[in-house]
Structure formats: structure tokens, C-alpha cells
Amino acid sequence: MVTIKYVRTVVGWFNVTVGNNRYNVAPEVFRKFTGVSSNATLGVAELNAADVDALIKHSIAIGVGAWRANGEEVGGNQGNGEEIGGL
């Protein structure tokens, strides 16, 4: 399990910290992978590595570097407008 930290921003998105890296995540995507309440504003969550990878793939990196699961580099979409399927 991977522990992530999160805080909801003033515009409703979530800033998520994984290791030393930060990502900006849309609220519906964040809740899909974490299962937290729509009222959540600050906290920590434990996710498996696959869910962390998926969360990051649907995020915008705002920190330096990328989180690595099983030796494989994973980075956010860097704000390139990728569509998020299934949401």
C-alpha cells in the first residue's frame, strides 16, 4: 500500500502528494480512486500501487520528478488535455 497526502484547493481540485511529488487531480477522478467523501478537504489515504499509477496518469504534475511503481516511471499528463475515459 502507498500512503498519499491530499488537500482540496479553493477551486475544488485536489493537490496530491506521492513521495516528494505533487499532482493536481480533478475531484471526480480523485474520489474514484480514493473513495473519500465529497466533503473531504485534507487527509491521507492508502492506495495500492495500481490505483496510484492510474490516479497519476489522470493528473497534472505540479512537482518535480515522477513516482515510480515497480521500477516503472509514471507521470501525469502534464496538462495536455488528455480525455479521462469512464468518468
Each residue of 10-61: pLDDT tens digit? Answer: 999 999 999 889 999 999 999 999 999 999 999 999 999 999 999 999 999 9
Residue 34 maps to a domain: yes
**Whole-model pTM above 0.75?**
no
Residue 65 maps to a domain: yes
Q: What is the domain range of residue 51?
A: 2-74
Nearest Cα residue to 34 out of 9, 10, 11, 8: 8
Inter-residue contact 44 to 52 (CB < 8 Å): no
Nearest Cα residue to 9 out of 34, 31, 36, 27: 27
Residue 57 maps to a domain: yes
Inter-residue contact 17 to 5 (CB < 8 Å): yes
Residue 79 maps to a domain: no
Q: Please state the domain count of the chain.
A: 1
Residue 69 maps to a domain: yes
Residue 82 maps to a domain: no
Inter-residue contact 53 to 23 (CB < 8 Å): no
